[in-house]
Chain A
């Protein structure tokens, strides 16, 4: 199986590579369109600021490539946010795979949300073997509101979409690569879809 992690200068790619390795799989980092298109599974990571990240995708032409992919794609954290229409952070136009806008948590809660929170209303093979209310590690200031493609919800002042799925595209707001054994199970589920 060929696993490609999209390399566009986003932070913490190393952790994802290691998490995949702990599951017994190899992965490669690439920003090459042909290499990405030839993969069986694609991970679209993302840590950092939305407008910078989107700028890098545009400069490499990957903004055109990612929405056309037909194999399973997993967007993580900012990766999931960039798959949406628009991000409030840096007033950034996203890839438009998910037709929703990413908005900021209001000041009734501490922002960013940092730490372990629960995922529930789980509705996907991605969560095989995962209990309702399992804890996942999250670090984010912006969120995707509940929508019809939501496959997991989390509550932080507001109940929001902590995971989404549309056709072959999956997005998770949490970091499976940093969420202990349950997070590893979710990554494994994705790789074995």
Chain B
């Protein structure tokens, strides 16, 4: 049986992890490779690296990091952040990334999704969508939720599927950082609307939230950052509890 995936997300700047982490056994707390190895050994199903570097060297720094990660870890990983062209994607995939995620660049140039899917296959193209509710309607936002658009979440989700996205990473900006649980209603609706896997993001605070996102939110995977980085939740404990609730997981 296909299992539900647990995905820690690492924020990267200039090749280093940026959000504080609380792993006392790390030799170097800012080394994404070392952190990735720990997660891979502790039961993470996949990893996401989100690059927020804004310098001219970003392409080179990121591809070097991807190469180092691929050298060390034996589970799949996705790279996102600032990817806007076929060339960007080619470099990252050739360096060893399994999937790439695109966000703003897809909104600005939806044809990019078609081009990437045709060249590399849908299976490695994740479209990340940030959205929040505006007067009761889920609207797509850019730049980490700061810039609103006129695009409705559910319309956009359907469009990215039709254009060849292999997966959707949906972050609710209303839930992100709250630790009050995922946007389960919106997620369940998304899941009924499109026939590609949905990764839920934003709002993880405790183990029950993950049970809820898989049962009520019908998500295929759940992504979180701080609850894992600060060891508020151990992935192995989380997976045991999910299994107790009859949610299929890899243990």
A2 in the interface (beta carbon within 8 A): no
Docked CA distance A177–B98 (Å): 11
A15 & B98 in contact (Cβ 8 Å cutoff) = yes
A115 & B124 in contact (Cβ 8 Å cutoff) = no
B74 & A111 in contact (Cβ 8 Å cutoff) = no
Q: For A19, list chain B residues within 8 Å (CB).
A: 74
Asked if A113 meets B74 with Cβ closer than 8 Å, knowing A48-B120, A139-B123, the reply is: no
A115 & B1 in contact (Cβ 8 Å cutoff) = no
A110 & B1 in contact (Cβ 8 Å cutoff) = no
CB-defined interface of A116-134 with B at 8 Å, one 1/0 digit per residue? 1110000000000000000
- Closest beta carbon of chain B to A48's beta carbon, Å: 4
B2 & A116 in contact (Cβ 8 Å cutoff) = yes
Shortest Cβ distance from A157 into B: residue: B2
Docked CA distance A177–B40 (Å): 13
B3 & A114 in contact (Cβ 8 Å cutoff) = no
CB-defined interface of A1-27 with B at 8 Å, one 1/0 digit per residue? 000000000011111001101100000
Docked CA distance A38–B63 (Å): 33
B5 & A178 in contact (Cβ 8 Å cutoff) = no
A11 & B167 in contact (Cβ 8 Å cutoff) = no
Interface residues in A, total, Cβ within 8 A: 38
Q: Which one of B16-24, B28-36, B89-97, B176-184 is at the A interface?
A: B89-97
- Closest beta carbon of chain B to A76's beta carbon, Å: 13
B75 in the interface (beta carbon within 8 A): yes
A180 & B124 in contact (Cβ 8 Å cutoff) = no
A114 & B120 in contact (Cβ 8 Å cutoff) = no
CB-defined interface of A33-54 with B at 8 Å, one 1/0 digit per residue? 0000000000000011100100
B70 & A18 in contact (Cβ 8 Å cutoff) = yes
Asked if A110 meets B220 with Cβ closer than 8 Å, knowing A115-B5, A178-B76, A179-B74, the reply is: yes
Asked if A118 meets B75 with Cβ closer than 8 Å, knowing A12-B96, A12-B98, A48-B121, the reply is: no
Q: For A117, list chain B residues within 8 Å (CB).
A: 1-3
Docked CA distance A108–B133 (Å): 30
CB-defined interface of B115-147 with A at 8 Å, one 1/0 digit per residue? 000111111100000000000000000000000
CB-defined interface of B1-17 with A at 8 Å, one 1/0 digit per residue? 11111000000000000
B52 in the interface (beta carbon within 8 A): no
A56 in the interface (beta carbon within 8 A): no
B80 in the interface (beta carbon within 8 A): no
CB-defined interface of B144-156 with A at 8 Å, one 1/0 digit per residue? 0000000000000
Within A80-125, the residues touching B (CB, 8 Å) are 107, 110-118
B158 in the interface (beta carbon within 8 A): no
A141 & B122 in contact (Cβ 8 Å cutoff) = yes
Which of A110, A156, A180 touches B40 (beta carbons < 8 Å)?
A180
Which of B72, B95, B121, B221 touches A47 (beta carbons < 8 Å)?
B121
A114 & B197 in contact (Cβ 8 Å cutoff) = yes
Q: For A188, list chain B residues within 8 Å (CB).
A: none
B71 & A116 in contact (Cβ 8 Å cutoff) = no
Shortest Cβ distance from B43 into A: residue: A180
B207 in the interface (beta carbon within 8 A): no
19 contacts between A and B (CB under 8 A): A11-B121, A14-B70, A15-B70, A15-B96, A15-B98, A47-B121, A49-B121, A110-B197, A110-B220, A112-B166, A112-B196, A113-B2, A135-B3, A139-B123, A155-B1, A178-B74, A180-B40, A180-B74, A181-B74
Question: Nearest 9 A-B pairs (CB), nearest first?
Answer: A14-B96, A116-B250, A135-B250, A139-B123, A48-B121, A117-B2, A178-B76, A18-B71, A11-B93
- State the A residues within 8 Å of B (CB): 11-15, 18-19, 21-22, 47-49, 52, 107, 110-118, 135, 137, 139-141, 155-156, 175, 177-181, 183-184
